Amino acid sequence: MKYLLLLVTLVSFSYNGVGQNKSDLLEVSTQNNTYVEKMLKISSPLTLDSKSFYLDEQWNHIMILTKTNEVLHTTGRINLARMYAEIIVNRHVRRLNENKVKALIVNGSTLIKVGSDKIEDRNISSFMDVLSVGKLTLLEAYKIGFKVEEHAYSGVVRDEIAFLSSDFYYTEDFDVFIPVNGKRDILRIMADKRTEVENFIKVNKLKLHQRKNLSALFDYYNSLVDVP
């Protein structure tokens, strides 16, 4: 999923958390058909606001896993500033009601919405991208920041440029979400398999600040501890 830089004004955040567990994320399939009536029941009317910031400004195919374990398909995009998903139903843009949704699959990425009471950093959007599922579930959490653009000579502020960054979190129970703070912290939380983990990092020359490398490490650790 590509990240776009947009000129926006950040608005007040509202949070609506949904409960999650590991089985929720593993139940996603593509067996159900999309029905307009069902889409109307899990969404509400919406007027588009220019004060927005999208994870991807383009409209994408979204697979929705509902609280009733139905899998629905639609076209939509994730508005990080407003902290909701915009979906198209019968050619109209509507807001997806997250309290009726377990997870979203967008461009192959699984997104869940996490309540603000579970995240200390208030700059973090409530949408998190699930990167690895297991004893330690790894997630990427997005945040919006601003850079002030000034005139080179006068110092007069010309504009505020919004940019997207992210932090990594892990959870064991989908109730507490804890930041991942570097190699030392990772080795601490994976202490029961420390020898194997250290060797995996060394052999594969992993750079643990990178999404792909960190995901590979958590996948490896989960493969060790999730075996019956």
Distance (Å, whole) CA 96 – CA 85: 5
Query: Which residues have C-beta within 8 Å of that of residue 202, sequence separation ≥ 6?
Result: none
pLDDT of 228 higher than 80: no
pLDDT of residue 144: 75
pLDDT of 199 higher than 90: yes
- The angle subtended at Cα 92 by Cα 88 and Cα 94, nearest 5°, is 60
Domain ranges for the chain: 22-179, 181-228
Residues, the chain, total? 228
pTM, two decimal places: 0.75
pLDDT of residue 29: 47
Q: What is the pLDDT of residues 161-178, one digit of tens each?
A: 666 788 999 999 888 899
Q: Is the dihedral of CA 173, 176, 177, 180 positive or negative?
A: negative
pLDDT of residue 50: 67
Mean pLDDT of 107-135: 83
Confidence band of 2 (pLDDT split at 50, 70, 90) = very low
